[in-house]
Amino acid sequence: MVVIAPALGHDLQWISDVDPRIEVIDGNALARGTEGGERLLQDADVVLVGYPVPDGIAARAPHLRWAQQTQAGVSNLHGTDLWASDVILTSSRGAVSATGIAEYVIAGVYYFARGLQEATRQKAASEFGRRGYDLRPVTGATIGVVGLGGIGGEVARLARAAGMKVLATRRSVTQPQPDTDGADLLLPAGDLVKLAAESDYIAVCAQLTAQSERMLDAGVFAAMKPDAVLINVARGELIDEDAMVAALGEGRIRGALLDVYDGELAGRPPRPELVELPQVILTPHISNNGDPVGREPARRLFADNLRRYLDGRPLLNQVDRARGY
């Protein structure tokens, strides 16, 4: 098997420890574009791949049967030859620093609730005074979690611990379900406008698929409270950025904390408005960083799946290409 995942480190003994029959090859040369790296894939039947995914893995690995990605979302695989192949794909959904990402979301809630955005504005403007602050309690506020999966579930847990009410959506739900999986009310994905209308903060944690692309559209922003805050830790393409920029520029929502933006995974810079609007906080997809045990859940998941693969048992987190994740 070949490992092309620099984020998991270069000590690959934890993979070899799964079974002595495994020959583990450090293929991170492929991620760096090093000459000769492509030859590493010729005999591989298993690949563990991180971000970014090198081009043409399936074409260069004629014996490849299974590939696992270290990311939770698989939208970055959609345009690769891995997606177009018959190779089994699995993701690291539920094992990607969920607590660290959820803490980032809650930090954003407190940033806007306790007036820190005004402190940031005043410092940049060389001002210092009490006017302009609009502090609000977090306890009793409502957070809407779009996509109650591994990360969304952790957001719900921390939000409830902070005294917040939690609304959430999940694609597989067909009827509203009270007090479910950490949410006070779990709604079908089609009830996104209802969630938007009742939430003080909206945390976007959903998978990007053909059906979910730009699902936070003008109708959703029109339904949001004028003092609502949007926090996106999933994929930028889940949001109609024209609608978001209009809502922010016209003061129809209070602000946004964005760890991702449309085109980020393709290497494009953020649109100028996201950089210029003072009520937007933009970070470079770092919400999963800073967790001292962040690698371990992904490692454990892959090790478990590798043992399942060797034993001929079903793999965890197998991607359904028709569903998109």
Q: Which of 214, 285, 308, 321 is catalytic?
A: 285
Give Cα separations from 81 to 54, 60, 78, 84, 170 (angstroms): 10, 10, 8, 5, 29
Per the annotation, the verdict on 235 as an active-site residue is yes
Among all chains, which residue has been given the structure tokens 């970014």? 52
For residues 272 and 276, give the distance between their C-alpha atoms in angstroms, rounded to a whole number: 6
**Nearest Cα residue to 69 out of 60, 130, 87, 61:** 87
Tell me the residue ranges of DSSP E strands in 174-285.
Answer: 177-180, 183-188, 201-204, 229-232, 255-258, 280-282
Q: Which of 93, 170, 235, 254 is catalytic?
A: 235
**Nearest Cα residue to 148 out of 175, 181, 122:** 181
DSSP letter for 216, please: B
Task: Report the 10 Å Cβ neighbour count for 266.
Answer: 11
Q: Which of 103, 213, 264, 273 is catalytic?
A: 264
Per the annotation, the verdict on 10 as an active-site residue is no
Per the annotation, the verdict on 114 as an active-site residue is no
Give me the amino acid identity at 301.
L
DSSP letter for 279, please: T
**Residues with a known catalytic role:** 235, 264, 285
